[in-house]
Amino acid sequence: MKNRKLKFIAAVIIVIAIAAAIFLFWIKSAGRNVANPALDAFAQCLSSKKITMYGAAWCPHCQNQKKLFGDSFKYIPYVECPDNPSVCLAKGVEGYPTWIFPDGSKLIGEQTLEDLSQKNGCPLPAGSR
């Protein structure tokens, strides 16, 4: 009887340990950016047109905007305003994120890829609308 009870307790501990490991892996991987090579060309087009995003690391809207691009965000010109306050003040950044275009026009707040495409003519990859 004692042996059955020990086996049961050991099985419960193993199941809990496996569940915790799966949960921790899921939490850790949920924060990763997703690679989408099709977005590279779109992000590079924004960059070639000198379109810059201004934001802050602590800003959840900025984080959402970056996640929208996944790994392709590395091609987007980006200014971290808390690290560069004079640049952001000079550009008239009043909220995060702010996208500023070469003609001085702005899009403030989270933007869809389609919004950004329509504003500047950079073509979106198929299936990203």
Parse the chain into domains and list their residue ranges.
Answer: 1-32, 37-120
Q: Which of 87, 93, 102, 128 is nearest to 47 (CA)?
A: 102
Residue with structure tokens 């915790």? Answer: 20
Cβ-based neighbours of 74, under 8 Å, separated by 6 or more: 43
pLDDT digits (tens, 9 = 90+) for 38-96: 799 999 999 999 999 999 999 999 999 999 999 999 999 999 999 999 999 999 999 99
Beta bridge partners of 111: none
Cβ-based neighbours of 117, under 8 Å, separated by 6 or more: 42, 123, 124
pTM: 0.70
Alpha-carbon torsion angle 74, 76, 81, 85, nearest 10: 120
Q: Is the dihedral of CA 115, 99, 47, 58 positive or negative?
A: negative
How far apart (Å, rounded) are the C-alpha atoms in residues 54 and 94? 10
Beta bridge partners of 108: 98
- Asked if the model's pLDDT at residue 23 lies above 70, the reply is no
Q: Which of 2, 15, 98, 92 is nearest to 53 (CA)?
A: 98
- Asked if the model's pLDDT at residue 31 lies above 50, the reply is no
Model confidence at 2, pLDDT cuts 50, 70, 90, reads confident
What CATH number has the domain spanning 37-120?
A: 3.40.30.10
